[in-house]
């Protein structure tokens, strides 16, 4: 793997590698300290050479000039600490570098870690993620995001249930998943180490499908049944938590149960007015001012401050009622359960919100918006292949014209790079054969 004695340089290169991922990792002193705590020098040196997309262990071993068995052991250790993703496919092992989010921040705090300085890490992550606008801007720069709001089905108007698609319903996402796992809410666990103990339950973070199997195998999450997952979902609703899920239509990998006081995504909305940090549901709160008594229960329940109590003259009387900020409303429906006067309902948004169909589509779209399509495609040219590139082109073709234009130059560069790489691999000996 080369010389790793120059630790500062190694960790700076790791930060630069992480910053090439679609969610980014802008440099900051707090991040450098986090990386030094989480990654041993030799692990940091290895991580610098792991692509943002999955690479086979065999190919990575050749790339870093390391025995495959030794690399396998090292990757396993890093995966158990949530620093890399690892997966098995067709008898081969693959690995990818975990981003900051959703990545090693969550995997650090999704469980109790007696092997790590949790208080120190909590303070550093607080400085880097929650008090650093640069980080928030990097993560939430575009309109397409990692997470989306899931509307509470019980809050929907009568007759609308049939019009709600499967990927909009948390109940369907949970019951249709092949595997289920639960862990601590990383955000509330992180806050607890800073003395901000949240009254809401912590064991509420649900992972699904292949993600559940991977995290359970690495001890980051605990396997549960589908019925247990549904019970946790109902418990979270009763606790006033908002459901956010993986921003895709197919193979949703997680459902978070979020509170406004601890959630990183909701913090970006409240602190920096980044209204696009969470993709909204297809619904939003609607308040009938004639029925509203101004009790403010819904105002207190809203996790992003989208509801506000106003006081004025109504029907000759001075009274209060609640108004909604459409730009802030996530359409989660948490407020609905707090109103016993029938003054609040969920109404359809004028324009339908459609998440990307797959994770691949979401990542490509986010990369285009953030100017990182070139990084995404160039990072693993050897393993990209024509199929993956063709899929990326298909995603770009579906984008709005202004976004599609942003992707043209990197795509052209990739095709050119492929030709150059092929020419470089032609040795004199191979040329003679041709």
How would residue 427 be classed by pLDDT, with cut points 50, 70 and 90?
Answer: very low
Nearest-angstrom CA–CA distance, 187 and 109: 7
| The pair of three-digit structure tokens given for residue 257, joined into one six-digit string | 């149960």
Q: How confident is the model at residue 209 (pLDDT cuts 50, 70, 90)?
A: very high
Phi-psi region of 93 (alpha: psi -120 to 50; beta: other; left: phi over 0): beta
Query: Per residue in 277-310, pLDDT tens?
Result: 999 999 999 999 989 999 999 999 999 999 999 9
Structure tokens at 17: 């590698």
Q: How far apart are CA 174 and CA 169, in angstroms?
A: 9
For residue 97, the model assigns a pLDDT of 95
User: What's the confidence (pLDDT) of residue 162?
Assistant: 58
Instruction: Using the predicted structure, report yes or no on whether residue 431 has a pLDDT greater than 50.
Output: no
User: Which residues, 6 or more positions from 40, have their beta carbon under 8 angstroms from its beta carbon?
Assistant: none
| 175 backbone dihedrals φ, ψ, rounded to 5° | -70, -25
Angle between helix 29-38 and helix 7-19 axes, rounded to 10 deg? 110
What is the predicted pLDDT for the residue at 419?
Answer: 47
Fold entry, domain 285-329+339-347: Alpha-Beta Plaits (3.30.70)
For the chain, the average pLDDT equals 88
Concatenated DSSP letters of 119-134: HHHHHHHIIIIIS-HH
Residues 111, 274 contacting (CB under 8 angstroms): no
Mean pLDDT across 256-261: 96
Strands of 141-263 (E only): list them.
147-150, 180-183, 205-208, 222-224, 242-246, 254-258
Q: Are 242 and 149 in contact (CB under 8 A)?
A: yes
- Say yes or no to pLDDT of 190 above 80: yes
For the chain, domain boundaries: 7-129, 140-282, 285-329+339-347, 359-426
What's the N-to-C CA distance of the chain in angstroms? 35
Q: Which runs of E-coded beta strand occur in 201-302?
A: 205-208, 222-224, 242-246, 254-258, 283-287
3-class SS shares of the chain: helix, strand, coil, % to 5: 50, 15, 35
CATH (one of 3.40.50.2300, 1.10.3210.10, 1.10.10.10, 1.50.10.20) for 7-129: 1.10.10.10
pLDDT digits (tens, 9 = 90+) for 74-93: 999 999 999 999 988 888 99
pLDDT tens digits for 303-360? 999 999 999 877 778 889 999 999 999 999 999 999 999 999 999 999 999 999 999 8
Contact (Cβ atoms closer than 8 angstroms) between residue 224 and residue 113? no
* CATH topology identical between 7-129 and 285-329+339-347: no
Give Cβ neighbours of residue 348 (< 8 Å, ≥ 6 apart): 160, 282, 283
pLDDT reported for residue 425: 45
Examine the pLDDT at 404 and tell me if it is beyond 90. Answer: no
Angstrom distance (rounded) from CA 85 to CA 61: 16
Of 74 and 402, the structure prediction assigns the larger pLDDT to: 74
pLDDT for res 279:
97
Q: How far apart are CA 191 and CA 126, in angstroms?
A: 9
pLDDT of residue 6: 60
Which pLDDT belongs to residue 410?
66
Section 42-64 average pLDDT? 92
């Amino acid at each position: 793997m080369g010389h790793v004695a120059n630790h500062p340089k190694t960790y700076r290169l790791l930060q630069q590698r992480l910053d090439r991922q679609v969610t980014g990792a802008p440099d900051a002193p707090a991040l450098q300290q986090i990386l030094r705590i989480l990654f041993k020098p030799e692990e940091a040196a290895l991580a610098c050479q792991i692509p943002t997309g999955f690479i086979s262990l065999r190919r990575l071993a050749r790339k870093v000039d390391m025995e495959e068995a030794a690399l396998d052991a090292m990757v396993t250790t890093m995966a158990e600490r949530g620093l890399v993703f690892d997966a098995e496919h067709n008898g081969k092992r693959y690995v990818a570098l975990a981003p900051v989010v959703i990545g090693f921040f969550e995997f650090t705090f999704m469980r109790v870690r007696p092997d790590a300085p949790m208080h120190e890490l909590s303070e550093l992550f607080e400085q880097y993620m929650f008090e650093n606008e640069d980080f928030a801007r990097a993560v939430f720069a575009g309109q397409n995001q990692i997470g989306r709001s899931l509307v509470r089905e019980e809050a929907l108007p009568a007759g609308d249930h049939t019009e709600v698609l499967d990927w909009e319903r948390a109940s369907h996402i949970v019951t249709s998943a092949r595997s289920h796992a639960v862990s601590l809410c990383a955000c509330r666990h992180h806050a607890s180490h800073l003395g901000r103990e949240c009254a809401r339950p912590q064991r509420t973070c649900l992972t699904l499908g292949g993600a559940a199997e991977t995290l359970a195998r690495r001890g980051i999450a605990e396997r549960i049944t589908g019925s247990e997952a549904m019970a946790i979902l109902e418990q979270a609703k009763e606790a006033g938590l908002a459901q956010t899920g993986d921003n895709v239509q197919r193979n949703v990998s997680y459902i978070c149960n979020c509170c406004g006081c601890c959630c990183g995504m909701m913090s970006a909305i409240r602190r920096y007015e980044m209204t696009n940090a969470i993709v909204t549901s297809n619904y939003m709160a609607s308040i009938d001012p004639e029925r509203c008594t101004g009790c403010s229960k819904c105002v207190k329940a809203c996790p992003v401050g989208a509801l506000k109590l106003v006081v004025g003259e109504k029907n000759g009387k001075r009274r209060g009622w609640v108004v909604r900020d459409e730009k802030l409303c996530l359409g989660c429906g948490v407020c609905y359960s707090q109103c016993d006067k029938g003054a609040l309902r969920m109404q359809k948004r004028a324009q339908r919100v459609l998440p990307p169909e797959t994770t691949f589509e979401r990542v490509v779209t986010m990369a285009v918006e953030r100017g990182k399509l070139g990084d995404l495609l160039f990072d693993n040219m050897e393993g990209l292949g024509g199929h993956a590139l063709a899929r990326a082109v298909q995603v770009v073709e579906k984008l709005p014209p202004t976004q599609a234009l942003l992707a043209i130059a990197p795509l052209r560069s990739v095709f050119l790079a492929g030709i150059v790489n092929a020419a470089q691999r032609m040795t004199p000996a191979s040329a003679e054969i041709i």
